[in-house]
Structure 1
């Protein structure tokens, strides 16, 4: 069975776009929500729902893919971004003629072990990306943030000056204290000493807004086990991406007041109209 026919026969719509043999989308979604498949196939379908990756990456662009790469943990832990997802995204960037793709993070554990044992370094290098160190302060020159409120300057990784755009790919999770980690928190890995103040992260997003946020909810670490959510949420709207990802793992938005602050700052919305969302459920994993 051909891939297109298989997709048409194996999807259920939970809202928005119905993928069926006699149905075709005539408009792009603002947010894609998909669950049930492999990371690579969910990425392809979600990008298709949003109009294709070429909508976000101009030909010849240098791209920073910002993963969660903080912990000396293997892929099965769910603590770092799924390496299969990242490798497939790197390949997709080159297919739309990106000039170069970079990855970097400021790790919590020893950086060489994080890069290696997460499986990310090998996966993205094999796909053609360059993965950069983020462990030394000299890599983070001082940058002025003219639109900043709380943070008017910051030490930001020098790759920001090299690239044309950011694709933000956080591994969505809660930490041991129950705090949510999502799109905004993931960008702290580009700032030396990673500010805990949410307003500082809002200031950073004003300075360098990701063109796309791909929320990795494939595996969520729990207290006793890793939960298989097999979900991606994707949007160019960072506020919407964080809002729908948080709800997917059972977090109430009233516990994340920074999202309203970001909305007030004009960075997005916590409540998209139903017709702008494409929700897709895969009956079976696509091989």
Structure 2
């Protein structure tokens, strides 16, 4: 991890200084500097010492849409987003005047848009623009990257595209979290969730459809790991139940899956353009399970082979029967 590399580098410098003749004052500066850096990079300590409180699951809005799901295919990803949301009933169904909106893309990897490891920048920018047109007070955009935050935000193209439309794009604040509480027994109980993901008026989940080495595919439920602080690697233990619980806690108001450029193997980070295909499709739904199930159809993959979709099906969490759902497909 990037933080571990930086910490080791700092320790090497400290060792070099200690071999030199330094004053007590200089030594204390080095020691305190190292301690401050360690505290700033350690997410466990951030949660332990952060000001936090308990939070119950977000209350999902009751939104009556024209269709259960809309899938739009076309060469312009921004136009695809506009049309998909329009066919659901319009952005005004989800965003009201004065709302604080969180748009949560997949922005985890130091990759270019062409490498398809992150959400298409134009998809994110279009959603931000639509939210402001609907009267949003503020539109926040963040993720907790797996690579260096600054490099990911810049090289993904998302920060620039979203900020040009007026979004507030920032690094997640691990000192400002809420402890997740559930009305049932959950392994995600007390997990630190970034506060802005819980207290927002509208949560729009905007994952990219891609291959994932552990879960088969990264879809909307998997994308929600990006609002979790703490030691996220532990979520991979019994990941299916945890992701369904997490989705139940966040209760996204709208899910927009970007299937513009799709990473077909070596995910989730990818890197080779040979692994990328163009599907030029955007999926929109209020039902994360249904959206993820439809995305599996695009990839010609059995939804039951994706652990968290199998868990959702067994728990009757959302709709998973495409044939019995009202699905609108359009090519523009």
Using the size of structure 1 for normalisation, the TM-score is 0.83
Q: Distance in 1 between matches of 2:145 and 2:176?
A: 14
Aligned equivalents of 2:288 and 2:156: distance in 1? Answer: 25
Q: Mapping of 1:49-198 within 5 angstroms? A: 49-134=87-172, 137-176=174-213, 179-192=216-229, 193-194=231-232, 195-196=235-236, 197-198=239-240
Secondary structure at 2:180's aligned position in 1?
strand
Larger deviation, residues 243-252 vs 253-262: 253-262
1:241 aligns with 2:291: yes
Aligned to 2:251: 209
Gaps of 5+ in 2: 1-64, 266-273
Of 269-278 and 233-242, deviating more is 269-278
Q: Report how far residue 235 of structure 1 moved.
A: 0.5
Match of 2:40 in 1: none
- Could you tell me how far 1:148 is from its partner in structure 2? 4.8
Whole-Å separation in 1 of the counterparts to 2:111 and 2:182: 34
| Structure 2 CA distance for partners of 1:108 and 1:257, relative to 1, 3 Å | closer
Deviates more, 1:67-76 or 1:267-276: 267-276
Deviation at 1:44, TM superposition (A): 1.3
**Does the aligned pair in 1 maintain the 2:240–2:311 contact within 8 Å?**
no
1:276 aligned onto 2:326: yes
Residue in 2 aligned with 1:36? 74
Pair member with larger Rg = 2
TM (norm. structure 2) is 0.72
Q: Which protein has greater RCO, CA pairs closer than 8 Å, 6+ apart?
A: 1
Q: Distance in 2 between matches of 1:187 and 1:41?
A: 25
Count of residues in Structure 1 that have an aligned counterpart in Structure 2? 255
Change (3 A) 1:103 1:251: same
Cα gap change, 1:103/1:179 in structure 2, threshold over 3 Å: closer, same or farther?
A: same
In 1, the alpha carbon distance for the partners of 2:185 and 2:168 equals 30
Instruction: Deviation per CA, 1:178-227: give whole Å up to 9, x if none.
Output: 72100000001111233221211211222220011101000012453421
5+ residue gaps in structure 1? 1-26, 283-287
Which structure's residues are more often helix, by fraction?
2
